[in-house]
Structure 1
């Protein structure tokens, strides 16, 4: 957990102006990994009651562009945000309840998946990140969905 002074230093290091709304949104993202925008607005308002929707959106855009926050969007879901950046990890999404968990890079170095250049489509690209989303059932949902084998 990074304290507010650490968050301010991250903003300075990214050459972003340090503002109370940006620090607040960074704190909300750190406290609520994988949250969508509406959840982050609510969390930000717990810390800074007068923060507007637009200010949260603007802060998320600036923080994402600076690489301080990561935005990802599982198929059929709202965009999600997290403060775990720079390690090229992936996500596991439960098809039933929607819970999201971090999954460390499968194997190898960043990017941990190197695509085959079977048709020359990769010529000129310098790949630095791979985004993988694994889908399945979390342990709780898997237990509920197990067939009953009692006679």
Structure 2
């Protein structure tokens, strides 16, 4: 993933720093990660040394912001949950969230191309994406809820 991350960064016109590559690598295989989960996966330092390639908490948030603005990662913000990050971008997929355990699953858009839904009145916006979150109780939690 390290080489793929470097290529993705360069393709978006961003410098391929160790910190950016580390965040992209930490998200690989771990969709819907929170910043706290990324911190533990990367080993964020209290006081980082950029020269040594380490990353501070503030540095992590800066990298996440840079990657999101470049559309290399996607942020989702389910109500009552911290912001989550994923590598799956540009395909207009949606999410299922379990009200009990917080599990999040991707749901492919099944209606045409992005955006798969359009507002009745777009008020002059050029809509290019729709974001939907379905809430419910996952199969694992249903028996426990009775």
State the TM-score, normalizing by the size of structure 2.
0.90
> In the alignment, which residue of structure 2 is the partner of 1:59?
63
**Structure 2 residue corresponding to 1:91, chosen from 85, 90, 95:** 95
> In the alignment, which residue of structure 2 is the partner of 1:18?
16
* Stretches of structure 2 lacking an aligned partner (at least 5 in a row): 45-51
1:31: Cα distance to partner? 3.3
Q: How does 1:111-150 map to 2 (within 5 A)?
A: 111-117=115-121, 122-146=122-146
Equivalent residue pairs, number: 139
* Stretches of structure 1 lacking an aligned partner (at least 5 in a row): 147-151
Rounded to whole Å, the distance in 2 between the matches of 1:113 and 1:44 is 37
> In the alignment, which residue of structure 2 is the partner of 1:149?
none
Sort the Cα spacing of 1:56 and 1:31 in 2 relative to 1 into closer, same or farther, 3 A.
farther
Rounded to whole Å, the distance in 1 between the matches of 2:57 and 2:29 is 18
**Structure 2 residue corresponding to 1:8, chosen from 6, 23, 27:** 6
1:42: Cα distance to partner? 1.0
Contact persistence 1:74–1:133 (CA under 8 A): yes
Rounded to whole Å, the distance in 2 between the matches of 1:66 and 1:50 is 22
**Residues 10-50 of structure 1: CA distance to partner in whole angstroms, max 9, x if unpaired?**
0000000010000001111223210111111111118x994
Q: Which entry has the higher C-alpha Rg, 1 or 2?
A: 1
Contact persistence 1:32–1:40 (CA under 8 A): no
Q: Give the RMSD, CA atoms, in angstroms.
A: 1.6
